[in-house]
Chain A
Amino acid sequence: GQQVMQIPQYQHVQEGEDFTTYCNSSTTLSNIQWYKQRPGGHPVFLIQLVKSGEVKKQKRLTFQFGEAKKNSSLHITATQTTDVGTYFCAGSTTSGTYKYIFGTGTRLKVLA
């Protein structure tokens, strides 16, 4: 079945360093969403990408959707301790039953 993988699984960075997580789908996606989940919390929507090659920025966060719409990335510049959490991508597909497939997640720890 369709799978969405993320790498790395874990990332520890020093505060101020950059961080990137990559999301790869086994099938072409209609769109992709990114979520952040703090420890003990629930996923919080960050952004949605729809177009091939799309790049969106939110302050220190940069999101990219691949040209083939099978991969995406999230880059955080100059991490802060408030960036701690697990970042999930979630892709949707119009093949078969509509549903969102969440990635495996990347857990980010920021060391002060």
Chain B
Amino acid sequence: ETGVTQSPTHLIKTRGQQVTLRCSSQSGHNTVSWYQQALGQGPQFIFQYYREEENGRGNFPPRFSGLQFPNYSSELNVNALELDDSALYLCASSASGGGWLDTQYFGPGTRLTVL
């Protein structure tokens, strides 16, 4: 196990609702990245947080937003949910400030279903 935890494990929402997903990084890690993994696809990078600031963003609309807290835990917020948002949401923590040599340790994920 990596020591990265996510909550909740599963979540069912309806279109238009808002959702908040949580991630606790591995001890000693200061960087959290969020990924969306649709069924049968590879993880797609949403954004990364380092020292409470957004440190990079993928091709996701502004209704995907995040936060990182002083203890390096993080939240992913998605507003105005759409059916296509149904996916496994993974967070990954790393120790080197988001540098390109970081080793990422993934949590178990949150399975979001939008009806």
A residues near B (Cβ < 8 Å) are 1, 30-31, 33, 35, 41-45, 48, 50, 88, 90, 92, 94, 97-105
Contacts and interface: CB of A to CB of B under 8 A. Distances in A.
Given A99-B58, A100-B33, A88 B43 contact: yes
B107 to A, nearest CB: 6
A97 B100 contact: no
A43 B55 contact: no
Contacts of B92: 43
B103 A42 contact: no
B45 A101 contact: yes
B33 A103 contact: no
B104 A33 contact: yes
A43 B43 contact: yes
Contacts of A1: 59
Contact of A42 (B45, B98, B107): B107
A48 B92 CA distance: 16
B106 A99 contact: no
Contacts of A103: 42
Interface string B36-74: 000001111100100000011111000000000000000
Contact of A30 (B2, B100, B103): B100
Interface in B1-20: 2
Contacts of A50: 101
